[in-house]
Structure 1
Amino acid sequence: MSHSVNIIHGPMSNINSYGFVFPIWYYRNLLRASGIKIRFFDCLDDHLPSADTIFLDSKVLKNNWLVGEEEGLRQIEFVRNRCDKLLWTNTSDGTGAIQRQVMPFVDYYLKSQIFSNQKDYQSSYYGDRAYTDFYHRTRGVVDHDELSTHGLTSTEIAKLRLSWNFGMANYFSHSRAVISQILKYTRFIPVRGYPDLATVAKRLSRANYLDRPVLFSARLSSNYSRNTVSYQRKQIKTRLTAMSIPLDRLSQRQYFRELASSRFSFSPFGWGEVNIRDFESIIAGAVLIKPDMSHIDTYPNVYQYNQSYIPIKWDLSDLEDVMASLRSSDCADIALEALDQYKKCIGKSGEADFVGRIYSLLGL
């Protein structure tokens, strides 16, 4: 069996594009050994070779949409004619945001996180996200530049497929700035592979979790151009300030040192539900406190309710009570469970599952 695949990806400075590409690159030899020939491209031009399957990162056409929808669709049609199967890879952050105009051209529409109940895509959401719609409806929050999603048809929903989030990148073993400089042919060959989570888990299990000197880490930014996106973070920051929890920004070195000394880490929604801070916290052994994630499915899925993270309600009505209950709680088992769930998805442990996902998307 031989199957050719072109990966047309966005800039590696973008963590979403990088997170999509890295595991394919990491497992490329395993895929090649099974007959899947993969080529990487960081732009679209008239010399793009044909392939059995093409993955097209939405970030590639970001500037084309600024010129106009017609130009973007023209480029997609060009790619469509270069392959038997076209997989659109939406590397935006929000679960609800769907670029519906591309649906007629693609076989599958990939997202790194999707609604666990896909019928939810039949609804319209103010601000393109379920949580922005929630704060608009329940708190009257409005955006200066208003936008809403339009519900999908059952035919369009049938094209949705779950890919993987940026937890599959190796961002955490080296900064993206360093990674972007270390290149050879593909321009994103990393210095290291995945972090050694087994060692992290051993260290965590040997330590006394309650001896960590920092109770809550909450170095949160809230500078978003959309009010419905920033609302949740601003509300959390206001409440944490009243409890005298430090919120000031730290240097990267100080930030990671604090995480490794913290029992709990806050990670509210931002442009999307899944955040880099989620995985940084897990690797540091800090238990994640996060708004309820039960409405989505993602991969790696480290969001098992009260098992691998501590959920809070979207309206924040239980925030103070949850924090009070955690002050004397030994939650090392939750930190270890999150590490275990993450560890199963990356490196040697995750290779069979990931390759199986690629096979499924290719229809092999």
Structure 2
Amino acid sequence: MKAIFVIAGNGFPQYQAQTLMFPLLKYKRELKQKYDFTFEVAEIHRDMDPTDLHVMARTISSYDAVFVQGRPFKVHGEPFTREYILEFLNAISATKVFFDDGDSSCHLDEKVMEKVDVYLKRQVLKERSDYGTSHLERTPWSDCFVRLYDYHGPIMQSPAVSDSDVDKLHLGWNIGLGRDTYQLLMKRHWWGIFKDNGRSIDVHLRARIHGDFETRAWIHEHRKSMYDKVHELQVKHNVVSSDMRVPLAHYRKELQNSAIALSPFGWGEISRNDFEIIIAECLLMKPSLAHLRTEPNIFVEYETYVPLEWDLSDLQEKCEYYLSHPEERERIAKAAKRRYVEYYSNKLFIRRFGEIVNRLCLLTEAGSRPTTRNEVP
């Protein structure tokens, strides 16, 4: 199978494209050997006009499959209006795969789903039937926050996703497979510099609560509530808790000196901070991820991280417990990092992507026929 990846080029943030492409480039030879899968890359630039997109759509239709990164098409207005985006997808005659690199497991673009054969997400709901349920602000956890913090402002009510669209949904891979986190992981893994008994910070929390998050008051309140509960721990413990931005090197130095690090939800459930915390061998505490599946799946409750109730009612109790049980804290923190390292050492991405390739082969052989629910991993 020969594919082409259409990704963000000049004029767009590059981090998302790097996260999408890094594991593919890293295992390019193995994917060719095991699945006869080869690929090329085309970039969408911000100065392209709709005619350029249409010409590109015709050209790339000669490939067996076209993977389209979602990030360039998240920019509504100039130069890509929604109509042009849908026309671009409609003009591609090859098997179409849309990689929605949005942060949340639930924000699905129904109009895009209608135009493509496979819709990849970084993380998906564990119970696929939940996509058939309408949620306030589109996700189970935002629904919870809107009600918990008694929000009365404008609310987006997500429509239930049809069974035929859910059948197109397939698990992709998350931000943990980015090039920068891989380089940090390998550096820290081989040097092995972290010692739990030398950590001077008991509880660490750095997360934005202002700026973009103020437009979503329930996210702001969730993060503010986490700060409020952490501040109460300062009476007995050494706490670093601030939403002030610091240099990246300073932030990572703090993590390597922290016993516990907290990571709230933001636009989505999983962030790059989660992986930086794991690499630093801090104990990761964050709201429970029991509702979703993701790849790499290094989030196992009480084995690689400590889950918190979505209302954070158990945050202080769990911080106190794990601060007073250093052996258990260190066991979980080291297990998380070991699981992350083993994902690469065992080359598990090749198997994950093989499932996607096999599905595309089925679609190609059947002329892009609809899948049945039991075919979707």
TM-score (norm 1): 0.85
Structure 1 counterpart of 2:190, from 193, 199, 204:
199
Structure-2 residue corresponding to 1:4: 2
Structure-2 residue corresponding to 1:159: 168
Distance 2:342 2:54 in 1: 38
CA contact (8 A) 2:185 2:279 kept: no
Distance 2:358 2:188 in 1: 27
Count of residue pairs the alignment pairs up: 336
Deviates more, 1:286-295 or 1:347-356: 347-356
1:86 aligns with 2:96: yes
Structure-2 residue corresponding to 1:39: 40
Distance 2:98 2:14 in 1: 17
Structure-2 residue corresponding to 1:30: 30
Secondary structure, counterpart of 2:261 in structure 1: strand
Secondary structure, counterpart of 1:128 in structure 2: coil
Spell out the pairing of 1:1-364 with structure 2 (5 A cutoff). 3-11=1-9, 13-34=13-34, 35-43=36-44, 44=53, 46-47=55-56, 48-49=59-60, 50-64=62-76, 68-79=81-92, 81=93, 83=94, 85-144=95-154, 146-172=155-181, 195-196=186-187, 198-199=189-190, 202-204=192-194, 207=195, 209-223=196-210, 224=213, 225-244=215-234, 245-248=239-242, 249=244, 250-330=246-326, 331-346=329-344, 349-350=347-348, 352-363=350-361
Structure-1 residue corresponding to 2:50: none
CA shift, 1:322, in A, is: 1.0
Secondary structure, counterpart of 2:75 in structure 1: helix
Q: What root-mean-square deviation, in Å, do the aligned CA atoms of Structure 1 and Structure 2 show?
A: 2.3
Higher helix share: 2
CA shift, 1:75, in A, is: 1.2
Unaligned runs of 5+ in 1: 174-191
- Residues 59, 65 of structure 1: alpha-carbon distance in 2 compared, 3 angstrom cutoff: farther
- Residues 203, 357 of structure 1: alpha-carbon distance in 2 compared, 3 angstrom cutoff: farther
CA contact (8 A) 1:116 1:297 kept: yes
Deviations along 1:91-127, whole A, 9 cap, x unmatched?
1111111101122221111100000011110111222
* Matched-pair identity in %: 23
Structure-2 residue corresponding to 1:188: none
Secondary structure, counterpart of 1:334 in structure 2: helix
Deviations along 1:202-240, whole A, 9 cap, x unmatched?
555xx4x23321111111211212112222111111222
TM-score (norm 2): 0.82
Secondary structure, counterpart of 1:243 in structure 2: helix
- Residues 38, 75 of structure 1: alpha-carbon distance in 2 compared, 3 angstrom cutoff: same
Distance 1:351 1:104 in 2: 28
Distance 1:297 1:161 in 2: 11
Structure 1's consecutive aligned runs of 4 or more residues displaced over 6 angstroms after TM superposition are: none
